[in-house]
Amino acid sequence: MNSELVLHLYIQLLYMKELNKKLKTTANLPLARQTVINVFLTNTSVKNQLLEVLKPHDLSIEQFNVLRILRGQKGNPLNLQDIQERMVNKMSNTTRLIDKLILKDFVKRTECKVNRRKIEVYITNSGLKKLDHLDTIMNQAESNVTKNLSGTELEQLNELLQKLQQ
C-alpha cells in the first residue's frame, strides 16, 4: 500500500470517528449513510449560521430568498408560482411568506392585468434598501460559513453537491 492511500484511509477513519462522536454511536456506518448524515448536519449548520444573521432583521431565510428573487427581476413582477419554482427551499406556504413581506412593506402584490386570477408580486424600494443593507452582512456570513475551505475545495464541493442533486 502506498503512503498516499494510507493517509487517505486514515483521514477517512478520523472523519468517521468524528461523525460517530456527534451521533453518539459506535456503529460502523456505511459510507453512503455517513455522507447523507453529513449533508444533513452541514445543511443544519449553514442554516443556523445564516438565521443568526437574518434574525435581527426579522427575516427568515425563505423571506430573504424571495426578496433576492424579486430584486433579480429588476422591477418586473413575478407570480406566486414562478417565485415558488425559483426558491431554494420550495414550500407550499409561499402565499403566507409573501403576506409577511407585504406587512413589512418589502413587497407589494397586485392583480395581473392579463389574467385576473393571477397575482403578481413586486419588490418595493423598502425591500431593495433592506437587501442593499443585508448584502455585505450576508456576503460576510457566507464567507464565514466557507472559511475552512480553499477556493479549489469550494469548486470541488460545488461539483460534488451538483452530482448529488442529479
pLDDT of residue 132: 96
76-125 per-position pLDDT tens digit = 999 888 999 999 887 768 889 999 999 999 999 998 777 777 889 999 99
59-72 per-position pLDDT tens digit = 999 999 999 999 99
Predicted TM-score (pTM) of this structure: 0.81
d(CA 21, CA 14): 10
DSSP annotation of 150 reads -
Residue with cell 445543511: 43
Burial class (CB in 10 A: 0-12, 13-18, 19+), 117: exposed
